[in-house]
Amino acid sequence: MPETIDIRELPARLDELFALAAAGREIILSDGIEPRARLLPIGLPVTRVAGLHAGAVVPAEDFDAQLPDDFWAGRP
């Protein structure tokens, strides 16, 4: 589980956090309770799951329809 560090602690703990990341740990940097960034070791594999959000994006019925000439002329 990633360790969460408030950004106000970052200057004092930077060396420690680099060492943790180099050892393979993920560090979440937060601003209060709001996560803002992640510190990850280089080379950490990215895991993607196919079909995880199936149906979350539905294209419009006319997605592949020809665009009007006004579009290509730059007119609204």
pTM of the model: 0.53
Q: Is the distance from CB of 4 to CB of 30 less than 8 angstroms?
A: yes
Task: Give the C-alpha separation, 14 to 29, whole Å.
Answer: 11
Is residue 73 one of the residues assigned to a domain? no
CA 46 to chain centre: 11
CA dihedral 8, 17, 3, 10 (to 10 degrees): 0
Domain count, the chain: 1
Query: Which SS3 state, helix, strand or coil, does residue 46 take?
Result: coil
Is residue 16 one of the residues assigned to a domain? yes
Is residue 18 one of the residues assigned to a domain? yes
Res 52 pLDDT > 90: no
pLDDT confidence of residue 2: 83
Write the pLDDT tens digit of every residue in 9-51. Answer: 999 999 999 999 889 899 999 998 899 999 988 876 777 888 8
Q: Is the distance from CB of 27 to CB of 3 less than 8 angstroms?
A: yes
Note down the domain range covering 22: 1-30
Is residue 46 one of the residues assigned to a domain? no
pLDDT confidence of residue 44: 64
